[in-house]
Amino acid sequence: MTGLRHLLSAADLDHAGAIAVLDTAAQMAATQSREIKKLPTLRGRTVVNLFFEDSTRTRISFEAAAKRLSADVINFSAKGSSVSKGESLKDTALTLQAMGADAVVIRHHASGAPHRLAHAGWVDAAVVNAGDGTHQHPTQALLDAFTLRRHLAGGSDNPDGVGLDLAGTHVAIVGDVLHSRVARSNVLLLHTLGARVTLVAPPTLVPVGVEAWPCAVSYDLDGVITDQQPDAVMMLRVQRERMGAGGGAASGATSFFPSPLEYTRTFGLDARRLRMLPDHAIVLHPGPMNRGLEISADAADSDRSVIVEQVSNGVAVRMAVLYLLLAGEREGWS
């Protein structure tokens, strides 16, 4: 089986490919508990972090992953530079090509920008999508799946759930689905791994066309928690510009819900809803959180919250992705 050239979407991974990434990530995580964390695997290879959009947490996660594999890392922050107006994605790509990049990790505000970078013939490098517009964020979905697998599939003899998928688990993804690349990636990957997904959001924050997605949709968070007892709840960040009066609708755009208070009352995860969840259920959030809006401090800091662990798992998953893309062919990558 030939190796995957790029990771642009969670849809690029079939069941075997997804398991291979998660199992590789488990190996990578094991090395990270050692005293010397660095592996020589990607010595001499160059990984470029090309960020057209601010995301310090994602950039440092990829940077740590590449460095622990001994790759050379170049950070190219394009936001606010010539790129935003004059210099095109194409010219930036040609520059990276001339620099001999082996992999380009790209974060871009435009959906499909990584796809263009990979397929327009501008660069030879492997392209990793680190979040594009409202499209995809596949490594986020992988780290979420890794975290879910550890808590919901693994046992005492196999704490990371190596070799296992997420069959039989039910994950509720709550919040701004319409604008969320995290939701799109998770729906695809969790479905591939056999999990059942329910999206929960006000109807204004669910995209027209969602009927084609392999998941259920509900407008009733209390109903989902009470009646379906999900094994995990993933809270999505609600951006300020989606809010109503007082929330900063400075753009003049019509808000997607009446007020932050009404949103929190209806779709926020607070102590009461936390208590309604089954005992084994865990709480995820891709960060950064709006405490008091989509998630209360009680929920964010509770012992069910795996939000801090998601961050460390992110490094292991990104190590696995870079390793599998750059260190040659691996089984299960379609």
Site membership for another protein, residue 250 (CB under 8 A) = no
- Altogether, the residues listed in the chain come to a count of 334
* Angstrom distance (rounded) from CA 16 to CA 13: 8
Site membership for another protein, residue 113 (CB under 8 A) = yes
* Angstrom distance (rounded) from CA 269 to CA 111: 29
* Angstrom distance (rounded) from CA 201 to CA 220: 8
Site membership for another protein, residue 237 (CB under 8 A) = no
Q: Helical H runs in 153-224?
A: 181-192, 221-223
Specify the stretch interacting with another protein by CB under 8 A; choose among 131-139, 150-158, 282-290, 292-300. 131-139
* Angstrom distance (rounded) from CA 186 to CA 191: 8
Write out the binding residues for another protein, residues 251-290 only, by CB under 8 A. Answer: 253
Q: Nearest distance from residue 184's CB to another protein, in Å?
A: 6
Q: Which is nearer to another protein, 201 or 319 (CB)?
A: 201
Pick from 70, 111, 218, 239 the residue near another protein by CB under 8 A. 111
* Angstrom distance (rounded) from CA 113 to CA 269: 33
Pick from 135, 149, 237, 318 the residue near another protein by CB under 8 A. 135
Q: Nearest distance from residue 213's CB to another protein, in Å?
A: 7
Specify the stretch interacting with another protein by CB under 8 A; choose among 144-152, 203-211, 280-288, 307-315. 203-211
Q: Which residue has the tokens 């994602």?
A: 58
* Angstrom distance (rounded) from CA 71 to CA 59: 15
Q: Which is nearer to another protein, 89 or 282 (CB)?
A: 89
* Angstrom distance (rounded) from CA 184 to CA 23: 23
Name the site residues for another protein (rule: CB under 8 A).
88-90, 108-113, 115-116, 119-120, 132-136, 181, 184, 207-213, 253
